[in-house]
Structure 1
């Protein structure tokens, strides 16, 4: 069940872009002779549908740009992941239908991932408005394609990536392939953090890499796109019966994670905090919540090297630090609550490149030591457990998997050192 919805999307598990949904319209139009001629010329230039190597600039019917530099993140599945967004604009006067997208090593030409029509249908988001996924773009329409590349075992990290997009263009009545959207890949190892909580049974809800509530929480703020929650996790907790809550679902204290101590994951300085909001009643998202209350009671730590950690939705009156305080790893900074844009008690945590929990770019991170005891079946099953008190469906890890310097992936059940 979502933890957030503000405007179309401010915070936590249902954050989506604030961009207005662009409705697709089919219209009859006369294609200008100059435009049709341009695309006939394009086809003549690339009869095979593939760009030829050349220093000369080429007209393209699509414009694409990677929104933020892609990072490589080691996951608890033993694989390396690249999660990023490609902004694409159809500059033609007719519809475009995406048929195939290849992510390619720009230097070697080696393919890294390939998406066909079915996957594109779930990843191409016209107008950057989540819930509007559709692999077709109307004339002059913009979309964001949310991408996830899993690097092959032993493969080198590409220095740069680019994208071969094959699409049907209505203005010429034919398919065409263009190579666009080149960008550098950040191979630097992500920051290693200590545990944010103590004890066992913590569920990494809506984590990396394809659970869409965080990874597609793209916001347009101050005239720019930001995705602060790209690698965010909502931490909840199960008991020995695999339930998240027992008793009256409207009482925050009945959720097992409520009131648990929240720990500093690194040495740092408090650069943001708030502690004047009351808990929400679980089971329903708050209506018309102001943007400045999205995180509820929160703390932001500056942990150095341009990295900031955001802790959100803390229990009223529980925050133990103030602006300017220095903290050490393991210090208690507050307790888990249900404040702000939240409908069930949880700790929302992410790392970002500025002190703003929303107007920042989400950066990858790992935890230096933890144990995975099980993995959840699906987001829908987790949502049901949260909404009804039913047990989660879990696949145990036998024996439990002790890991270091990786990110727990979605629905991992984690034990932290005591």
Structure 2
């Protein structure tokens, strides 16, 4: 029988282009700004400077997490509002450790900036070539460091921006807006917290971390106002798909992939990642046919059938897209790590069978802060590339790491 080719990008993010999160706890620059008469760091105290962009850090203070590449990743977002009467194009971003005069720890040039720029409201796909007048975009950024000790306690950003022709009626101010501006903003304080350590959510071989951290995927680009705030509620989410590693043609299904039963992930047992208490269960939504997104779903139906477990420490494990009626737990149940809580299906906002899994800071999975986690034991096999499996030169047992995008993982059976 013909096998359906594995296309990771076809696996829809839970929100497709929607997201949520929480306000940052406290601006790292608050006391500094107050002592400067309200003028942010990086701007002179004795002269007025035209600064057309409003640059703001979004979401909670980012928590560093170790990935399967052995690097420490710090994922976060900043918003940029263009208050100029001219469209703006960000041509360069420098990440500065400690403040405006700090060491440059990362740089993005124009094409890289464009790939990480997402407009709000109209969900135009990246790359976005400019920021229209009066519009806001979100920059999806990732700091990568060799060790946790190298991660700065705080970073800010230097943006170089060029401006296009005036598109608004001249109010007498147009001539005062420069063609190129360099600005400082978006101070981000690194959290002192550690990622939550969990067990595997699944068992067995051949699991692919689709739409995973920390490159640009439908999860990282899913930015929307949810719960009265803007943030990346799927920042560290993974869509776990399953492949047959013995097949030279990488595939997530047997047959033509037209039925849910064709998929290797279908009916897989979902496991509690830690001891905890079940706080939410939905189990009455129908499975959707593969590759047919149900546009009639309401916002609260995007996860389909799901289970949320309070795993302690203010962390909640979210399992989405389960088979209808398969949940083996109910609200209030105590669960133990490794306990089967239900079976994987294709309910909700999904294009093919996969487990959408993430950890959040409240039992509202689309409105609360999305936080990183590290799985305490698994085998790293390699990564997927188009229709083939590329075995990693450093394949083997791993402990306390976050599987990254397109990683192929074997979990304990």
Tell me which interval the TM-score lies in, with the shorter structure as reference length. Answer: 0.7 to 0.9
Q: Within 5 A, what are the aligned runs for 1:377-416? A: 377=385, 381=386, 392-398=387-393, 400-416=395-411
The change in CA–CA distance for 1:219 and 1:246 in structure 2 (over 3 A counts) is same
- Distance in 1, matches of 2:47 and 2:309, equals 48
The change in CA–CA distance for 1:245 and 1:54 in structure 2 (over 3 A counts) is same
Match of 1:374 among 373, 382, 385: 382
Structure 2 residue 299 is the aligned partner of structure 1 residue 291: yes
Structure 2 residue 64 is the aligned partner of structure 1 residue 72: yes
- Distance in 2, matches of 1:344 and 1:17, equals 20
Cα shift readout 1:273-327 (whole Å, capped 9, x = no counterpart): 1000111111221222122211011001111111111000001111000111111
Aligned equivalent of 1:157:
151
Aligned equivalent of 1:174:
179
Cα shift readout 1:25-72 (whole Å, capped 9, x = no counterpart): xxxxxxxxxxxxxxxxxxxxxxxxx94665988653211111112221
Provide the aligned C-alpha RMSD in A. 2.2
- Distance in 1, matches of 2:155 and 2:180, equals 23
The change in CA–CA distance for 1:226 and 1:273 in structure 2 (over 3 A counts) is farther
Match of 2:109 among 92, 101, 116: 116
Give the structure-1-normalised TM-score: 0.83
Question: In structure 2, the residue corresponding to 1:324 is in which secondary structure?
Answer: coil
Farther-moved stretch of structure 1 (401-410 vs 89-98): 89-98
- Residue 231 of structure 1: how far off its partner (Å): 0.4
- Distance in 1, matches of 2:285 and 2:369, equals 26
- Distance in 1, matches of 2:218 and 2:398, equals 26
Match of 2:14 among 12, 15, 26: 12
- Residue 188 of structure 1: how far off its partner (Å): 2.3
Whether the aligned pair in 2 keeps the contact of 1:98 and 1:120 (CA below 8 Å) is: yes
Aligned equivalent of 1:139:
133
Whether the aligned pair in 2 keeps the contact of 1:86 and 1:144 (CA below 8 Å) is: yes
Match of 2:370 among 362, 371, 376: 362
- Distance in 2, matches of 1:109 and 1:359, equals 34
Aligned equivalent of 1:237:
242
- Residue 202 of structure 1: how far off its partner (Å): 0.8
Q: Within 5 A, what are the aligned runs for 1:256-335? A: 256-335=264-343
- Distance in 2, matches of 1:244 and 1:138, equals 41
Aligned equivalent of 2:232:
227
Question: In structure 2, the residue corresponding to 1:63 is in which secondary structure?
Answer: strand
Question: In structure 1, the residue corresponding to 2:309 is in which secondary structure?
Answer: strand
Farther-moved stretch of structure 1 (260-269 vs 114-123): 114-123
Match of 1:126 among 119, 124, 145: 119
Whether the aligned pair in 2 keeps the contact of 1:98 and 1:136 (CA below 8 Å) is: yes
**5+ unaligned residues in a row in structure 1: which ranges?**
5-10, 19-49, 382-391
- Residue 142 of structure 1: how far off its partner (Å): 1.2
**5+ unaligned residues in a row in structure 2: which ranges?**
1-8, 21-40, 165-173
Whether the aligned pair in 2 keeps the contact of 1:353 and 1:360 (CA below 8 Å) is: yes
- Distance in 2, matches of 1:54 and 1:404, equals 50
Q: Within 5 A, what are the aligned runs for 1:181-260? A: 181-239=186-244, 240-241=246-247, 242-260=250-268
- Residue 106 of structure 1: how far off its partner (Å): 2.1
The change in CA–CA distance for 1:269 and 1:161 in structure 2 (over 3 A counts) is same
- Distance in 2, matches of 1:224 and 1:189, equals 24
The change in CA–CA distance for 1:79 and 1:399 in structure 2 (over 3 A counts) is closer
Question: In structure 2, the residue corresponding to 1:309 is in which secondary structure?
Answer: strand
Count of matched residue pairs: 368
Whether the aligned pair in 2 keeps the contact of 1:3 and 1:341 (CA below 8 Å) is: no
- Distance in 2, matches of 1:236 and 1:75, equals 19
Cα shift readout 1:339-369 (whole Å, capped 9, x = no counterpart): 1111211111001111012111210001001
- Residue 218 of structure 1: how far off its partner (Å): 1.5
Match of 1:104 among 86, 96, 101: 96
Aligned equivalent of 1:38:
none
Whether the aligned pair in 2 keeps the contact of 1:17 and 1:130 (CA below 8 Å) is: no
The change in CA–CA distance for 1:207 and 1:160 in structure 2 (over 3 A counts) is same
- Residue 219 of structure 1: how far off its partner (Å): 2.1
Whether the aligned pair in 2 keeps the contact of 1:276 and 1:316 (CA below 8 Å) is: yes
